[in-house]
Structure 1
Amino acid sequence: MENMKQENQSLRQIGFFLLYTFSITWLSWLVIIIGNRYFNALWYGEPLFWIPMLIGGLGPAFGSYMIYRKYNKAFERTSYFKFVFGEKVTRKAWLIFGFFIIWRFLMIWIAFGINEPVSILYMLLNLPLFIIGGGLEELGWRGFLQPRLEKAAGYIFSVLIVGILWSIWHLPLWLIVGTTQSAIPFGIYALLGIILSFTFTSIYKYTRNLFLCVLSHAWFNGCIGLVVYIGSKGYVELNLNWKVYVVFIIEIIVSVILGIVYNRNKSIKDNDKIGLSVL
């Protein structure tokens, strides 16, 4: 009876999170679409454009915070700070995080052929914008939604669901001229969303630090921004080749294996603790 009550409460929280997240984001981005189509305003890159754009991008973070504050009886700012930054990051966690950061460089260098030193400077200078405009989504997707779905649906299925929902959440961006998403067919983008969902979930599992997920997400956005804008000489387009598919196939295989290994090791440790408590 108690388990059923907890499951119902968890489903209710998930429902409210999705309601808050999609409402905040889609209404904000709808303002841009209306401005573009009916008032010749809020075009991509203009100063005023970034206000509704960034508010919309923060939808998952706002949704996570609202749910955390509503349902956490012991809510304090310090507790939410701990929720974001987690426990002390171990050496192993730093290695996992560093591996994926370096992997991004290999991705744009090997698969997309971008190797100019100025690219790194571009990414570092724009990292704060990538954090606000993309990275902070992780507070909702990996910090709240995926762990709760995993308890109900298991690891693989929960990550797939989050990847699909995450992709659908981005849909209005295809109606805004100039966005990175408008350069990618939605089917390919959804597949990429699922792959990245496995990647960021693995990073969170091993680091237990949402901020490292935020940085990983922001770093990816910076890399893909280089590919779309610099790699295509200023045109908003994404040139796919066989190297790109190979790189992302390797990424999803590694991420899934890491996730399965983590869950298996955690299950063994939990069973050992139960055995010790019985003794």
Structure 2
Amino acid sequence: MPSRIRRRISDRPVTTFFVVAYLVSWSAWAPLVFSDWWATWSPLVLADDMQTMVFIMVGGFGPLVAAGLVTWVIGDSVREWAGQLFRWNVSIRYWVFALLFPAVAVITASAAHIAVFGGQFDPESTGVLVLYPVLFLQVFLVGGGNEELGWRGFALPRLQESYSALASSLLIGVGWFAWHLPLFLVGGSSQAGVPVYYYGVAVIALSVVFTWLYNETGGSVLLTMVLHASVNTGGILYLAGGGAALQTNLPNALYAVVFLAAALVLVATYGPERLADAEIPTRLSGSQ
């Protein structure tokens, strides 16, 4: 790669990361968004849900691919970047939070739906508990957790060199939300039919929560992957209609309010500058 291009990427690593992540992911999702055109011109027919899911999952690796590529191009340590996956030796309370906070949020939102807005408890919503571990593992590996070496493992520590933890969280949150936008047009995706405005509030609020967890654990991407998997799986626990209820306005609004409240509590407790009691991770050791 010409040194001039390498220097420009080195000057704007986070911007480059976002551009490449969007390019990789949206290229994979474009055939799904423009499925009528694709069926006319491409020999590869998206005939069933399995093929659609494969394209969705391939696109989900955009942030990971972008982060690894930019890390290598600018001469930072790929080993240090990837090594954040193995930071598991943290206080048990962070493991508990990553595993259980989304479930608590779902139960809180659905309890409010039942108690305040007249929703009906659906006993069948508890029947999916047997599937939860399998779905969690799938999401951890290929359904959201795989994004975390990008959003938190790459973009967050670099943004925190120049901005507060809160500002960094909001920047990533907006980019993270916008990255999902094509999936709202894809039937069969988890975003299809979801009210986009409430989804945006929830994702941006969750970005603050993810930053707190990353900073508090000294940069454990593993814990943010666990949290991501818990968030994406937790919707099936909604007590007033299960995961299907999250295709409608009120449950999404309540869900977003709970996540927003959690983010505000963290900002008030830890302060916007660091969002943590610990020394926050910025540039990775071994980086230039």
**Which residue of 2 is the match for residue 82 of structure 1?**
83
Q: Distance in 2 between matches of 1:170 and 1:85?
A: 27
Task: Say which of 161, 166, 181 aligns to 1:156.
Answer: 166
Instruction: Using CA pairs under 8 Å that are at least 6 residues apart, name the structure with larger relative contact order, 1 or 2.
Output: 2
Q: Distance in 2 between matches of 1:26 and 1:228?
A: 34
Q: Distance in 2 between matches of 1:51 and 1:233?
A: 22
* Aligned partner of residue 182 in structure 1, secondary structure: coil
CA-based RMSD: 3.3
Q: Distance in 2 between matches of 1:172 and 1:26?
A: 7
Q: By percentage of residues, which structure has more helix?
A: 1
The answer to whether residue 42 in structure 2 is matched with residue 46 in structure 1 is: no
Count of residues in Structure 1 that have an aligned counterpart in Structure 2: 256
Q: 1:159 to 1:81 in 2, by over 3 A?
A: closer
Q: CA deviation at 1:39?
A: 2.3
For each residue in 1:111-151, what CA deviation from the matched residue of structure 2 results, as whole angstroms up to 9, or x when unmatched?
22577543332221112321212111111111111221121
Q: CA deviation at 1:224?
A: 2.4
**Which residue of 1 is the match for residue 210 of structure 2?**
200
Flag as ranges the 4+ runs of structure 1 deviating above 6 A: none
Task: Say which of 131, 142, 146 aligns to 2:152.
Answer: 142
**Which residue of 2 is the match for residue 170 of structure 1?**
180
For each residue in 1:84-116, what CA deviation from the matched residue of structure 2 results, as whole angstroms up to 9, or x when unmatched?
223x5232xx30331243222222223225775
Maintained 8 Å contact 1:229/1:235: no
Task: Say which of 35, 52, 60 aligns to 2:63.
Answer: 60
Maintained 8 Å contact 1:228/1:238: no
* Aligned partner of residue 179 in structure 1, secondary structure: coil
Maintained 8 Å contact 1:64/1:140: yes
Q: CA deviation at 1:197?
A: 0.2
Q: 1:36 to 1:197 in 2, by over 3 A?
A: farther
Q: 1:84 to 1:11 in 2, by over 3 A?
A: farther
The answer to whether residue 184 in structure 2 is matched with residue 186 in structure 1 is: no
**Which residue of 2 is the match for residue 256 of structure 1?**
267
Q: 1:37 to 1:218 in 2, by over 3 A?
A: farther
Q: For 1:160, give the aligned amino acid.
A: L
Maintained 8 Å contact 1:163/1:193: yes
Q: 1:177 to 1:267 in 2, by over 3 A?
A: closer
Structure 1, unpaired ranges of 5+: 1-6, 269-279
Q: Distance in 1 between matches of 2:137 and 2:216?
A: 24
Task: Say which of 75, 99, 102 aligns to 1:101.
Answer: 99
Q: For 2:93, give the aligned amino acid.
A: L
Q: 1:74 to 1:175 in 2, by over 3 A?
A: closer
The answer to whether residue 67 in structure 2 is matched with residue 30 in structure 1 is: no
Q: Distance in 2 between matches of 1:260 and 1:10?
A: 30
Q: 1:170 to 1:235 in 2, by over 3 A?
A: closer
Maintained 8 Å contact 2:110/2:240: no
For each residue in 1:45-79, what CA deviation from the matched residue of structure 2 results, as whole angstroms up to 9, or x when unmatched?
72212222111111111111112222345545xx4
**Which residue of 2 is the match for residue 276 of structure 1?**
none
Q: CA deviation at 1:225?
A: 4.7
**Which residue of 2 is the match for residue 128 of structure 1?**
137
Moved more, 234-243 or 248-257: 234-243
Q: CA deviation at 1:158?
A: 1.4
**Which residue of 1 is the match for residue 4 of structure 2?**
none
Structure 2, unpaired ranges of 5+: 1-6, 112-121, 281-288
Q: 1:42 to 1:247 in 2, by over 3 A?
A: same
TM-score, structure 1 as length reference: 0.78
Q: For 1:111, give the aligned amino acid.
A: A
Moved more, 159-168 or 33-42: 33-42
Question: Percent same amino acid at aligned positions?
Answer: 24
Q: CA deviation at 1:168?
A: 0.7
Maintained 8 Å contact 1:183/1:238: no
Q: Distance in 1 between matches of 2:130 and 2:239?
A: 17
